[in-house]
Chains A and B, each alone.
Chain A
Amino acid sequence: MTALLTVDNVVKRYGGLAAVDGVSFTLDAGGVLGLIGPNGSGKTTLLGVLAGTHDPTAGTVTLDGRVASGRGAHRAVRAGIARTFQTTRLFGTWTLRDSLRLARGEVKGRTSAASDDDIADLLGLDGLLDRPCGALTSAAQRLAMIALALATGPRVLLLDEPAVGMDTGESAALAAAVRRVADRLGVAVVVVDHNMHFLMPLADRVLVMAAGAVLAAGTPEEIRADEAVIASYLGGA
């Protein structure tokens, strides 16, 4: 069986600088991959290439055997790859329900997304669907951003620092919600985050990036024990 998502030797250069320099990995449905590395190591750029935000300079991203990279964000979404952003971005004056309906309408007939209520249930957003997104609490807004991504019926969900600005309780609830999404919807999830307490228990596998390349890959336990990683990034953590 081939993997759901195959990232093959992806390179992204800005001028002479390679932000991502030959990254490869695969991911199966329902799997959660943690992506860690110091600032500027290329995590967010890699996420951007996967989501179609940036075109790769070289290499391909294939979803179910079809090339999904380098064709713009809206096509990546239609192919089944959705993302969230580091900073909260929502259609602020719209209700969450209206936002979800727009997203659902864009992918109609291509993928089947969970219903509004199922999404709200999975993420713990019950009762908030009819509020303007801008009026939600900041933790709820971070979840609403994930809800918006799920409304496009993705097979791969890319989360860019989803727990930023959350307290311990909120990030634990988020981790549980992400796990539910992976388990019940069979969505493959890639999570970038700096918060090891959030990421390590959540991820099945962890990819450590440094200077645009993969420094190490393995289960959270293996990564914790990897001396190169400890030296370069985790330090005493």
Chain B
Amino acid sequence: MRVPAWTAAGWTRHAATAAGLTALSVVAYLLLKGVQGDRGQVVLLVVVWAIALTGLNLITGLGGYPSLAHVSFFGGGAYLSAYLLGKGLPMALCALLAVGGTMLAGLVVALVFSRTRGQYFAIGTMFFTAVTNLVLTNAADVTGGPNGRPVDLGFSLDTTLVLLAASLGLSLGAFYALSRSRFGDRLRAIREDEDLAQHVGVPTARVMLIAMVVSSAFGAWAGVLFAQYNGVIAPSQFTFVQGFLMLVAIGLGGGGRLLAPLVGSAVVIGFTQLIKLGPGVSQIVLGVLFILVTLLVPNGILGGITALRRRPRPTAPDVPAPAPARAKEVAS
């Protein structure tokens, strides 16, 4: 599954990944800085989503659990930091408390739902997001109600841009490290067959719990940065439809793959923001696309590309080529 970390080939691979992610951060910064207007907004959203979705890629991508709660963690970071800033706390402390507070919420959600299986998990996290949205809409004295609330400037615009660009590379780097650790293997084992994972000794509930809490941190931090850039936040940005679109992004990108959050965000944001097809149409197209990808290319766009690239090449004589897609069907 993963490249052994302590071999020369492993280190070359890690170094190349680190270099690639650094380059990605630099490109992201240049784009954030250089692109203006509507398109600038698109770049921002893609970067913010990619940071947030890196967390979702742990639970849903590696672990195979469809979490609809992620958008609430995203919103939690945004609202908590905005509220604390409004109380006059210094920005760094606000960010820390917002991320910490959201992780605490993530822990509670995980304690309730990490022992439930796929379908219940989807229903439960969906409901959690619906209730969170209900609170954001109704607790008007804290959240500003349905029309949202302004966010005080905590970071200068340039600081926010630097943080966004750096966080993109660092988040993906953290995911790379996690997915190559035993933690990543355990999550993959849960996705393949949770009962079997338990019976080889994986404490599945605890692994899911940790994944959920860690993922909420990514979501919350992305929310903090989003609030800083946007200057205003509203419940309509954190509905369960948004939560579902996050899931769509991971599915389209290719769950569990390093760049899935980035590719998925680009496709989803691109469809909803760039292409003006009239109300609803872009979401219909996304829905159809998502179902087609789920049915036809279970490993998403990135998985599909890998499979295509591998096909024409003859396999090396004594190394049997891994055949993920086919093998999975045989097993199920």
Given contacts A74-B203, A152-B201, contact A91 B193 (CB under 8 A): yes
Measured as residues with beta carbon below 8 angstroms from the partner, the interface class of chain B is 20 to 34
Q: Is the CB of B331 within 8 A of A92?
A: yes
B19 at the interface (CB under 8 A from A): no
User: Among B188, B199, B331, which residue has its beta carbon within 8 angstroms of that of A77?
Assistant: B199
Q: Is the CB of B198 within 8 A of A93?
A: no
Contact with A along B309-332 (1 / 0, CB 8 A): 000000000011011101111111
Contact with A along B188-224 (1 / 0, CB 8 A): 1100110110111111100000000000000000000
User: How far apart are B191's CB and chain A's nearest CB, in angstroms?
Assistant: 9
A78 at the interface (CB under 8 A from B): yes
User: Among B202, B323, B327, B330, which residue has its beta carbon within 8 angstroms of that of A102?
Assistant: B202
Contact with B along A77-99 (1 / 0, CB 8 A): 11000110100111111110011
User: How far apart are A147's CB and chain B's nearest CB, in angstroms?
Assistant: 11
User: Among A89, A106, A133, which residue has its beta carbon within 8 angstroms of that of B195?
Assistant: A89
Q: Which residues of A contact B326 (CB under 8 A)?
A: 134-135
Residue among B200, B319, B323 facing the most chain A CB atoms (10 A cut-off): B200
Residue among B199, B202, B204, B328 facing the most chain A CB atoms (10 A cut-off): B199
A53 at the interface (CB under 8 A from B): yes
User: Among B199, B201, B320, B327, which residue has its beta carbon within 8 angstroms of that of A92?
Assistant: B327
Q: Which residues of B contact A105 (CB under 8 A)?
A: 182, 185
Q: Which residues of B contact A73 (CB under 8 A)?
A: 195, 198-199
What is the CA–CA distance of A132 and B193 in the complex, to the nearest angstrom? 15
Q: Which residues of B contact A103 (CB under 8 A)?
A: 200-201
Contact with B along A168-201 (1 / 0, CB 8 A): 0000000000000000000000000000000000
Q: Which residues of A contact B319 (CB under 8 A)?
A: 130
Q: Is the CB of B331 within 8 A of A102?
A: no
Given contacts A91-B196, A92-B192, contact A134 B328 (CB under 8 A): yes
Measured as residues with beta carbon below 8 angstroms from the partner, the interface class of chain A is 35 or more
B1 at the interface (CB under 8 A from A): yes
- 42-91 of chain A: CB within 8 A of chain B: 51, 53, 72-74, 77-78, 82-83, 85, 88-91
Given contacts A74-B204, A102-B186, contact A90 B331 (CB under 8 A): yes
What is the CA–CA distance of A5 and B148 in the complex, to the nearest angstrom? 63
Given contacts A89-B193, A132-B323, A134-B328, contact A74 B1 (CB under 8 A): no
Q: Which residues of B contact A74 (CB under 8 A)?
A: 198-199, 201-204
What is the CA–CA distance of A231 and B322 in the complex, to the nearest angstrom? 52
Q: Is the CB of B196 within 8 A of A89?
A: yes
Q: Which residues of A contact B200 (CB under 8 A)?
A: 77, 82, 99, 102-103, 106, 148-149, 151-152
Given contacts A102-B186, A102-B189, A105-B182, contact A93 B324 (CB under 8 A): yes
What is the CA–CA distance of A135 and B321 in the complex, to the nearest angstrom? 11
Q: Is the CB of B1 within 8 A of A98?
A: yes
Interface residues of A, Cβ cutoff 8 Å to B: 51, 53, 72-74, 77-78, 82-83, 85, 88-95, 98-99, 101-103, 105-107, 130-135, 148-149, 151-152
**9 smallest beta-carbon distances between A and B, as pairs:** A92-B331, A106-B201, A134-B327, A134-B331, A103-B200, A77-B201, A73-B198, A132-B327, A134-B330
Interface residues of B, Cβ cutoff 8 Å to A: 1, 182, 185-186, 188-189, 192-193, 195-196, 198-204, 319-320, 322-324, 326-332
